[in-house]
Structure 1
């Protein structure tokens, strides 16, 4: 899979998707491929180069400690040689950019970047469409499961352990008296749940929920 994506990223093969005109398609496909490659390995030169480009852009955008859109556009133009097109890339609070930036930002930039993402009104594009600072009103819901997906994405950043304490408190409050978690049957969306083959038994669902949440807590704290 990595070899195939590397071939597409380096121009030896073409992805089968049709070209979209609403954004910088070449920039977006490089971003998408690099993000997925780096979820498998950080030893791919082409993907690492794309990560370096986006790190340069975001470092400039958060130079003052908070997001500056004019600096973002200017840095984007300097790196890619053109102004950004399409909301998909103008709004960088999305799965691919966040996934790509893990381990790529200096502490100051990472801190400001995470603050911006957590306070972003529309959440993380492709993952969760509400502000992360606002906890889901119902724990046993698909919304809460998708919220966990967004937090899982942020948990790989070193400063997550300081930024996501409020999430740990929320999870602790929703723990059952037996020390486990159960998010209910409605979260079975065939994407994030179930982890097991089926949920015919409540105990299996509880085990899956507990495993996912325990892994998330460990990722934040470590």
Structure 2
């Protein structure tokens, strides 16, 4: 999706119709637009980005009710607040309600640490104490939203324990496999998803803890010193970062830009 396409598809209120969708279907949603804008790394002052983030802020403030179907299996109100706050935090928007939600989830996660490890059973208990018994199940602590919301707010002990937990579980909606296990095939969509997950969890890592990822990337450089991934196709979300991939050099530049953005946070 090009920025011109997003501008044309954006509703007057700043949204893109249904909000929540991390799936691979083709229908555009506000969340897909946010993902695309994040990967394009466009300044928050850009009219399309600003309008969309203002929309998310109004959703968090309940000035706008999203048209999504409310799921009953979880506490949808809590989920919405987490979702909106996480996106605003990912785009580095300072907001009082985002901070309030960060503190709630920070308490839940920190109270779920036993003997230096994240205790899922304790998490379920702490979750219910904080958010009540509405919903059949708890919101997953390994979700994309949780990882994005809690960056730089956990105590050192909780940060380390949460990091190890996520590394073993993966990030729900992004790459829900053990992150200590490298993708078997470098030139694959799995590698792209894996590297997105690594980029998101990297702020929780201690120095050198993700060196194995850096070494893997170094080992997969070509003889020219760059990276080539012939099997990767443009998906409209992560790629292309350039205008298009009709020229091979555009694809090569985009792949290398993406991988270097991951290395920069390791």
Q: How does 1:7-46 map to 2 (within 5 A)?
A: 7-46=58-97
User: How far off is 1:197 after superposition?
Assistant: 1.7
Distance 1:81 1:113 in 2: 23
Structure having the higher helix fraction is: 1
- Misfit runs of 4+, over 6 Å: none
Q: Deviations over 1:123-165 (max 9, x none)?
A: 21110132111111111111111111111111233x2543211
Residue aligned with 1:156, SS: helix
Distance 1:21 1:4 in 2: 24
Residue aligned with 1:197, SS: coil
Instruction: Look up the match of 1:171.
Output: 217
Instruction: Look up the match of 1:110.
Output: 159
Q: How does 1:65-76 map to 2 (within 5 A)?
A: 65-76=116-127
TM-score, normalised to structure 1, is 0.89
Do structure 1's residue 200 and structure 2's residue 246 form an aligned pair? yes
Distance 2:198 2:116 in 1: 22
Of 61-70 and 204-213, the range deviating more from structure 2:
61-70
Q: Deviations over 1:163-222 (max 9, x none)?
A: 2111111101001111111122424322212211222232222211111111111112xx
Distance 1:160 1:153 in 2: 14
CA RMSD of aligned residues (A): 1.8
Instruction: Look up the match of 1:131.
Output: 178
Q: Deviations over 1:85-118 (max 9, x none)?
A: 336x1x3111111111111111111111111111
Instruction: Look up the match of 1:92.
Output: 141
5+ long unaligned stretches in structure 1: none
Instruction: Look up the match of 2:16.
Output: none
Q: 1:202 to 1:160 in 2, by over 3 A?
A: farther
Of 2-11 and 100-109, the range deviating more from structure 2:
2-11
User: How far off is 1:7 after superposition?
Assistant: 2.1
Query: Quick one: which of 109, 129, 147 aligns to 1:58?
Result: 109
Residue aligned with 2:203, SS: coil
Distance 1:179 1:160 in 2: 27
Distance 1:179 1:84 in 2: 51
User: How far off is 1:10 after superposition?
Assistant: 2.2
How many residues get paired? 215
